[in-house]
Amino acid sequence: METIVLTGAAGLVGSVLRGPLRAEARRLVLVDREPLTAEAANEEVRQADLSSAEDVAAVIEGADGVVHLAGIPDEAPLPDLLQANVLGAHHVLEAARLTGVRRVVLASSNRLTGLYPATRTVSPQDPVRPDGLYGVSKAAVEALGRLYADKFGLEVVCLRIGSLEPEPTEARHLATWLSPRDCAGFVLAALRHPGVRFAAAYAVSANTRAFWELPDELGYRPVDDAEGYRIEGAESFFTEGTPQGGDFATPGYTLLRGRLPTASA
């Protein structure tokens, strides 16, 4: 690809993708609020907050594809999530419409379905069951992606990103782990696989105990499996009474981070 734009480039996922995307493109534009330094001749750094479609258009014009990761990556007050995640995605999609960028990859999240039980296999065709306000914001992001694909002809891929870690460290990761290698594989496939108008797909490694159906429409099959790592307490997690979101699905997680008032006695 000639030019790829990566927003949220300073974050965890962006840091993992930087090298693989740099190898894929003649020009990689790295965008973040935080200052970054170019590490290769084909990298270009832009410090921006993407607060309007016009601001985004100035950054992405001429790109072959955009990987949009910028936003709040965890539970937070809903107004903050709407501003950063939902409006941020809208600005990117609208800028792509205005500038003629065809392919947009949006960072969605596995927490869109975190209130399904750990014994259930879930596909993108199942109704969303967010495990918190963060998951709600990602449901809205996917709806925006679908709208811009159906109404304006953009090619949009929403990747429901799993637990991106160097290696799994807890029982839930036996199902949700996304290795750095597989993360890059999914994103590259989302950028370049032909014939995609809209797709919502789980990006997760080939874990033996995975909760989610792996996508066929992107042409990438993951290679890593969390099962090879020794994790204590695994059997007690994979029960009917445990939500796929684990601790993320507890009321306290949202009450604290969403700064919601506690109900009166």
Mean pLDDT of the residues in the chain? 96
- More confidently predicted of 216 and 193: 193
Beta-bridged to residue 30, according to DSSP, are: 6, 45
pLDDT confidence of residue 233: 81
Beta-bridged to residue 3, according to DSSP, are: 27
Beta-bridged to residue 157, according to DSSP, are: 105, 199
Average pLDDT of 215-227? 94
pLDDT confidence of residue 263: 75
pTM: 0.96
Is residue 134 among the annotated active site residues?
yes
pLDDT in tens, 10-61: 999 999 999 999 999 999 999 999 999 999 999 999 999 899 999 999 999 9
Which residues 6+ apart lie within 8 Å of 150 measured at CB? Answer: 198
User: Which entry of 116, 134, 148, 202 is annotated as an active-site residue?
Assistant: 134
pLDDT confidence of residue 215: 84
pLDDT in tens, 70-120: 999 999 999 999 999 999 999 999 999 999 999 999 999 999 999 999 999
Check whether 259 has a pLDDT greater than 80.
yes
pLDDT in tens, 169-186: 999 999 999 999 999 999
- What b/e readout covers 62-94, taking b as 16+ CB neighbours within 10 angstroms? ebbbbbbbbbbbebbebeebbbbbbbbbbbbbb
For the four alpha carbons of 8, 34, 111 and 221, in that order, the dihedral sign comes to positive
pLDDT band at 265, cuts 50/70/90? very low
Assigned CATH class of 3-257: alpha beta
Check whether 235 has a pLDDT greater than 90.
no
